[in-house]
C-alpha cells in the first residue's frame, strides 16, 4: 500500500516517526506544504483548498491508497470535505487528545496548546462542549501563533521560543495544570522547553500513536499484512530546514522541493 501523509510543514513527521515504528511493508509519501505554512493562521476555506490540492497531488502523482492528515488544523477544517471527495481512500485525521488528557490528569486542570484555527474550529468546540458535560475539569486553551514558524526554523530551544512559551504557559503553571494536550503536530518538538517553563513534570498527550493504530487497523481490514521494508519519500512545496528532518526522524532523508503540485 502507498500512504500519503501531509502537514503544513515538518511537524507531521512526528506522526511519520510513529508510523515507521509500527507499520511495515508500505510506501510512505510525505508532503510538507511549506509554501502555504502556517495553516493555523489561515481561514478554514484556505486550509480546505490547500488540503485538497495536496491530496490531488498525492492521488495523481503517487496513487495513494491511504491518506493521513498529519495536521490538527487541516483535520479541523478539511477532513469532512476530503472524506466526501475521496470516499475510496482510507483517511485518518489528527485531533487533540482531550479525552485521554482528562483521564490522565490528577489535578483535573488540563492545558490544550493548538493553532488559532484548531481552537476556533467547530470540531474542537463540540469536543470540549461534549466532554465538559461529563467530566469535572478545567480546560486551559492556548493558541500559539508563531510557534510553528519557530519550530520550522529549528528554534525549538532558543530564548525567543522560551519567552513565547513563558507568556502562554504562565496561567497554566499558576493553576496547577499537570497534563498538556499537544494539539498541533509540531508541538511535540518543544516538549522539553514546555516542561522547563512549567517547572514540574508534565504528562503530554499527542496523537501520533492513536493515528498510527487507527491507520494500521483500517489497512489490515483491507488485507495489509504488515511485513517487509517501508520506504519514505519526502516532498515540500517551499523552503524547509533540513536539520529538522533529522531531529524528528533520527536520520537524514533528502527532501525534494516541488515547483508546483500540478
CA distance 68 to 211: 8
Nearer to ligand DGL, 68 or 148 (CB): 148
CB of 14 to ligand DGL, least distance (A): 9
CB of 195 to ligand DGL, least distance (A): 20
CA distance 198 to 210: 25
- List of E strands, the chain: 2-7, 27-32, 66-69, 90-92, 109-114, 138-143, 179-183, 203-205, 231-236, 255-257
Exposed / middle / buried, residue 50 (Cβ in 10 Å: 0-12, 13-18, 19+)? buried
Nearer to ligand DGL, 55 or 115 (CB): 115
Nearer to ligand DGL, 33 or 224 (CB): 33
All residues at 6 or more sequence positions from 42 whose CB lies less than 8 Å from its CB, including other chains: 36, 50, 117
CB of 65 to ligand DGL, least distance (A): 23
Nearest-CB residue to ligand DGL? 40
CB of 164 to ligand DGL, least distance (A): 14
Nearer to ligand DGL, 149 or 230 (CB): 149
Q: Catalytic positions, please?
A: 71, 184
CA distance 21 to 6: 18
**DSSP designation for 136:** -
- Please report, for residues 32, 54, 99, 178, 205, the alpha-carbon distance to residue 64 in angstroms, rounded to integers and kept in the order given: 16, 12, 31, 40, 29
* CB-based contact 104:135 (threshold 8 Å): no
CB of 70 to ligand DGL, least distance (A): 7
Q: DSSP string of 13-32? A: HHHHHHHHHH--S-EEEEEE
Nearer to ligand DGL, 57 or 224 (CB): 57
CB of 241 to ligand DGL, least distance (A): 14
Applying CB under 6 A, which residues contact ligand DGL?
7-9, 11, 37-40, 71-73, 115, 118, 148, 184-186
Nearer to ligand DGL, 224 or 237 (CB): 237
CA distance 259 to 256: 10
Amino acid at each position: 500500500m502507498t500512504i500519503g501523509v501531509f502537514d503544513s510543514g515538518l511537524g507531521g513527521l512526528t506522526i511519520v516517526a510513529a508510523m515507521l515504528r509500527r507499520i511495515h511493508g508500505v510506501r510512505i509519501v510525505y508532503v510538507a506544504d511549506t509554501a502555504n505554512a502556517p495553516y493555523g493562521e489561515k481561514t478554514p476555506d484556505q486550509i480546505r483548498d490547500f488540503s485538497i490540492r495536496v491530496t490531488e497531488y498525492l492521488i495523481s502523482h503517487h496513487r495513494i491508497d491511504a491518506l493521513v492528515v498529519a495536521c490538527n488544523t487541516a483535520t479541523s477544517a478539511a477532513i469532512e470535505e476530503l472524506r466526501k471527495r475521496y470516499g475510496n481512500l482510507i483517511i485518518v485525521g489528527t485531533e487533540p487528545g482531550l479525552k485521554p488528557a482528562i483521564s490522565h490528569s490528577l489535578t483535573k486542570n488540563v492545558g490544550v496548546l493548538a493553532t488559532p484555527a484548531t481552537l476556533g474550529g467547530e470540531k474542537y468546540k463540540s469536543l470540549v462542549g461534549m466532554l465538559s458535560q461529563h467530566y469535572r475539569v478545567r480546560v486551559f486553551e492556548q493558541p500559539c501563533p508563531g510557534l510553528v514558524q519557530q519550530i520550522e526554523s529549528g528554534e525549538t530551544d532558543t530564548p525567543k521560543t522560551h519567552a513565547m512559551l513563558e507568556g502562554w504557559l504562565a496561567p497554566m503553571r499558576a493553576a496547577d495544570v499537570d497534563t498538556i494536550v499537544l494539539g498541533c503536530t509540531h508541538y511535540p518538538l518543544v516538549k522539553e522547553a514546555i516542561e522547563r517553563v512549567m517547572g514540574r513534570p508534565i504528562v503530554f498527550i499527542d496523537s501520533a500513536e492513536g493515528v498510527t493504530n487507527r491507520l494500521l487497523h483500517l489497512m489490515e481490514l483491507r488485507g495489509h499484512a504488515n511485513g517487509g521494508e517501508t520506504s519514505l519519500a519526502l516532498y515540500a512545496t517551499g523552503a524547509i530546514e533540513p536539520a529538522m528532518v533529522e531531529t524528528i526522524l533520527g536520520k537524514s532523508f533528502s527532501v525534494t522541493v516541488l515547483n508546483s503540485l500540478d
